[in-house]
C-alpha cells in the first residue's frame, strides 16, 4: 500500500520547450483529463505525438483509423498519430479453441449472472493473446516513434489508458444495478466483484488500466536509453485515482467515491511506477480529483466531491478568479437555487456519519452498502436537479477547471517529480487555478 503523499507546493516551471516531444499514450476525448496536459505541451512548443486504440469492425476485426478518422484525430490532438491499433485488454481476443471472453458472456442472462461459470483456461489463453497483440503492435509503434524523436530531446510520455469492461450485453444492466441501483434494483458491488463476471473484470481492469503502463515503460526502453545517452530527459506520467482531499466542514479531508472497482488496478499502477522508480526511471502516478468525463459517466455520485472545489478556491485566497468561477456556476443553477444551497447539499453528503467507515485510507477500496449507495445516489440526483439545463451543468464547468489545473501541475512536476506516486488534492488544484488565471491576466 502506497503512503498518502500529496503535492503541497506548486511546481517550478519544467524545462520542456521547442524541439522536445510529448507522447500521448491513449486517445484524446473532448472533456478528458488528457486535454490539460496536451494544452501545456502545446503551450511549451513541444512536438506532439499520439497513438490510437484503433476501431472494431462489426465482425470484431480491429483496424487502424480510416483516412478521415485519422485526419480528425490528428487535428484535435495537434500532432501526428501513429496509426497502429493499440487497444488494450482481451475481451475480443480468441482462445485456442476460437472463443473470446465476450463470446462466453453472450449466453448469460441478466437475471442469472450470479451463477455464471466461465472457462478460465480459455480466458487465460485470450489474455495471453491480447497481451501478444498489444505488445507486438506497441513494438511497431515504438519503432515509428523512435524515428520521430530526435537525440537529446526531452520526452514526456503520458499514459491515460483506463477501462476494460468486457463488451458484452449482460454487463451493462448488471453494472447499472451495482453503480446506480437502489431498493430492489440494488446489487452490492461485492456480490458482483466476487462472481465470475467480477473476476473477469478484475483481470481485464489490471490489463488495461495498469499493465499498459508497464508495457509503455518496457517497450520505450531503447528510446529512453538513446535519448538519455545524448543528454535528453525522459519522463513517464500516469493518471491515478486513490481518493482525494476535499473540504468537508471547512477542513481538507481525504474521501473517496465508492464503489471504485478500478481501485485495485490503480494500486497496481502505483506499484508499477514505484518499481520503475527503483530502477532510476522517472515514472510518476498522479492521483487526481474526481471529475466528469466520458469514462466517469457510469459512476453517478463521483461528481459530488467536485462541488467543494468552489469553497477551496475561496479558502486558498479567493479574489476575482474564484468569484468569476462561482458566478459562472451560479448562472447554471435554477433561478430559485443559490450556489450556497448546492455547497451545503454537497457538504451534508460528505459529512454524513455514513461516510466515516469509507474514510479509512488503509482499507481502500471498499465495497458499497445499500445505505451508502442510496444516500449517494439520492444526493447526487438532488444536486444535479439544481442545474437549469441537464446538458450544461456545474460539474462540467468545474471539471474543465480541474483538468486544466491538473494538466499544469503534472506537466511541470514531471520534470522533477521527486516521488513515484503523488496526490493532487483540492488545495493544490485550487491554488493552481488561482495562480494560472492571475498569470494570464498579467
Ligand atoms: N474522471 C475522473 O474522475 C478521474 C479521476 C482520477 C483519475 N482519472 C484517470 O484519468 C485518466 C483519463 O481518464 P478520463 O476520466 O479523463 O477519461 P477519458 O475517457 O477521456 O480517457 C480514458 C482513456 O482511456 C483510454 N482507453 C479506454 N479503453 C482503452 C483500451 N481498451 N485500450 C487502450 N486505451 C483505452 C482512452 O483512449 C482514453 O485515453 C484515466 O486513467 C482515469 O482513470 C480519472
Q: Check residue 284 and report its DSSP letter.
A: E
In this structure, is residue 5 part of a structural domain? no
In this structure, is residue 8 part of a structural domain? no
pLDDT band per the 50, 70, 90 thresholds, residue 294: confident
In this structure, is residue 6 part of a structural domain? no
In this structure, is residue 125 part of a structural domain? yes
Atom of ligand 1 nearest to the CA of 295: 19
- How many angstroms does the Cα of residue 367 sit away from the middle of ligand 1? 22
Question: What's the pLDDT score for residue 295?
Answer: 81
Mutation to probe ligand 1, out of 77, 86, 161, 410 (largest number of atoms < 8 A from CB): 161
- Rg of the chain in Å (alpha carbons): 22
Render pLDDT for 131-161 as a digit per residue (tens, 0 to 9): 999 999 999 999 999 999 999 999 999 999 9
Q: Which residues on neighbouring strands pair with residue 56, listed in sequence order? A: 62
- Domain interval for residue 312: 21-441
In this structure, is residue 399 part of a structural domain? yes
| C-alpha to C-alpha distance for 284 and 239, rounded to whole angstroms | 9
196-205 and 171-180 helices, crossing angle to 10°: 90
Render pLDDT for 201-217 as a digit per residue (tens, 0 to 9): 999 999 999 999 999 99
| C-alpha to C-alpha distance for 194 and 291, rounded to whole angstroms | 28
| Closest C-alpha to ligand 1, atom 4 | 290
Question: What's the pLDDT score for residue 437?
Answer: 63
pTM: 0.98
Render pLDDT for 207-247 as a digit per residue (tens, 0 to 9): 999 999 999 999 999 999 999 999 999 999 999 999 999 99
3-state secondary structure of 190: helix
**What's the whole-number average pLDDT of the chain?**
96
CB of 288 shorter than 6 A to ligand 1: yes
**Span between the terminal Cα atoms of the chain, in Å:** 43
In this structure, is residue 98 part of a structural domain? yes
Provide CB contacts within 8 A for 369, sequence distance 6+.
Answer: 188
pLDDT band per the 50, 70, 90 thresholds, residue 441: low
DSSP assignment of 297-338? TT-TTGGGGGTTHHHHHHHTT-SHHHHHHHHHHHHHB-TT--
Q: What CATH number is given to the structural domain containing 136?
A: 3.40.50.720
Over residues 318-331, mean pLDDT:
97
CB of 52 shorter than 6 A to ligand 1: no
In this structure, is residue 393 part of a structural domain? yes
- Domains in the chain, number: 1
Specify the pairing of strand 155-159 against strand 21-25.
Answer: parallel
pLDDT band per the 50, 70, 90 thresholds, residue 416: very high
In this structure, is residue 243 part of a structural domain? yes
- Whether 33 and 289 have beta carbons less than 8 Å apart is answered as no
CB of 208 shorter than 6 A to ligand 1: yes
Mutation to probe ligand 1, out of 87, 93, 160, 236 (largest number of atoms < 8 A from CB): 160
Q: Could you give the strand order of the β-sheet that contains 234-240, starting from the edge strand earlier in sequence?
A: 80-85, 47-52, 21-25, 155-159, 234-240, 282-287, 421-423
CB of 29 shorter than 6 A to ligand 1: yes
CA angle 362, 316, 345 (to 5 degrees): 65
CA separation, residue 3 to residues 55, 210, 362 (Å): 39, 19, 9
User: Dihedral (C-alpha) 82, 88, 90, 92: value to the nearest 10 degrees?
Assistant: -50
Amino acid at each position: 500500500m502506497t503512503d498518502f503523499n500529496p503535492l503541497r507546493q506548486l511546481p517550478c516551471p519544467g524545462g520542456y520547450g521547442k524541439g522536445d516531444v510529448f507522447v500521448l499514450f491513449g486517445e484524446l476525448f473532448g472533456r478528458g483529463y488528457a486535454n490539460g496536459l496536451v494544452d501545456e505541451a502545446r503551450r511549451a512548443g513541444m512536438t506532439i505525438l499520439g497513438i490510437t486504440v484503433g476501431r472494431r469492425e462489426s465482425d470484431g476485426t480491429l483496424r487502424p483509423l480510416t483516412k478521415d478518422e485519422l485526419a480528425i484525430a490528428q487535428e484535435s490532438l495537434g500532432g501526428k498519430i501513429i496509426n497502429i491499433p493499440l487497444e488494450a485488454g482481451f475481451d475480443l481476443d480468441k482462445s485456442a479453441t476460437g472463443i473470446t471472453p465476450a463470446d462466453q458472456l453472450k449466453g448469460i442472462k441478466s437475471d442469472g449472472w450470479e451463477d455464471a461459470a466461465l472457462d478460465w483456461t480459455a480466458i487465460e489463453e485470450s489474455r495471453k493473446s491480447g497481451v501478444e497483440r498489444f505488445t507486438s503492435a506497441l513494438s511497431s509503434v515504438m519503432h515509428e516513434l523512435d524515428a520521430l524523436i530526435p537525440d537529446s530531446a526531452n520526452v514526456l510520455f503520458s499514459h491515460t489508458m483506463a477501462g476494460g469492461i468486457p463488451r458484452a450485453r449482460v454487463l451493462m444492466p448488471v453494472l447499472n444495478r451495482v453503480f446506480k441501483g437502489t431498493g430492489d434494483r440494488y446489487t452490492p458491488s461485492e456480490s458482483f466483484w466476487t462472481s465470475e463476471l467480477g473476476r473477469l473484470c478484475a483481470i481485464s481492469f489490471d490489463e488495461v488500466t495498469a499493465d499498459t503502463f508497464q508495457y509503455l515503460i518496457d517497450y520505450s526502453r531503447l528510446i529512453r536509453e538513446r535519448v538519455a545517452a545524448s543528454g535528453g530527459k525522459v519522463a513517464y506520467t500516469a493518471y491515478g485515482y486513490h481518493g482525494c482531499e476535499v473540504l468537508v466542514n471547512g477542513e481538507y479531508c481525504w474521501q473517496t467515491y465508492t464503489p471504485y472497482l478500478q481501485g485495485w488496478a490503480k494500486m497496481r499502477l502505483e506499484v508499477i511506477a514505484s518499481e520503475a522508480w527503483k530502477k532510476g526511471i522517472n515514472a510518476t502516478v498522479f492521483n487526481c480529483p474526481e471529475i466528469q468525463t466520458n469514462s466517469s459517466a457510469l459512476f453517478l455520485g463521483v461528481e459530488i466531491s467536485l462541488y467543494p472545489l468552489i469553497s477551496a478556491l475561496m479558502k486558498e485566497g479567493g479574489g476575482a478568479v474564484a468569484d468569476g468561477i462561482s458566478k459562472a456556476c451560479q448562472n447554471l443553477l435554477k433561478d430559485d437555487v443559490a450556489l450556497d444551497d448546492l455547497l451545503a447539499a454537497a457538504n451534508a453528503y460528505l459529512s454524513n456519519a455514513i461516510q466515516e467507515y469509507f474514510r479509512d485510507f488503509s482499507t481502500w477500496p471498499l465495497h458499497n452498502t445499500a445505505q451508502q449507495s442510496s444516500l449517494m445516489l439520492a444526493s447526487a440526483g438532488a444536486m444535479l436537479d439544481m442545474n437549469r439545463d441537464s446538458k450544461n451543468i456545474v460539474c462540467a464547468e468545474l471539471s474543465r477547471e480541474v483538468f486544466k489545473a491538473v494538466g499544469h501541475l503534472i506537466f511541470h512536476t514531471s520534470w522533477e517529480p521527486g516521488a513515484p506516486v503523488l496526490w493532487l488534492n483540492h488545495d493544490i488544484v485550487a491554488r493552481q487555478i488561482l495562480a494560472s488565471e492571475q498569470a494570464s491576466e498579467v
